[in-house]
Amino acid sequence: MNALNTKPNIPDPDGFYAELIDAHEGLSDEESAALNARLILLLANHIGDRNVLSEAISASANRHGDE
């Protein structure tokens, strides 16, 4: 069983962030939310490990309001 990796793991994180932001350019709030939902589902399918996905949901929910 794999565990959720929360350590930095993306090569060129700034480039990835810029690409993600660019993908949202010109979209309405509704279109942006739909893009995010599609991206989440694609990445969840790629991960495939239900336990890791549950950990990610819990970790994300627990961070609500921590900013």
In a domain, 63, yes or no: no
Angle subtended by helix axes 13-24 and 29-47, to nearest 10: 140
Instruction: State percent of the chain over pLDDT 90.
Output: 88
The identity of residue 47, as a single letter, is I
Number of domains in the chain: 1
In a domain, 37, yes or no: yes
- Give the range of the structural domain holding residue 40, as residue numbers without chain letter: 28-56
Element spanning 49, H or E: none
pLDDT (average), residues 2-27: 96
Is residue 25 over pLDDT 70? yes
pLDDT in tens, 35-61: 999 999 999 999 999 999 999 999 999
CA distance 21 to 4: 24
CA distance 10 to 53: 18
Which sign does the torsion angle of CA 13, 2, 36, 59 carry?
negative
CA distance 65 to 46: 28
pLDDT (average), residues 9-23: 97
In a domain, 40, yes or no: yes
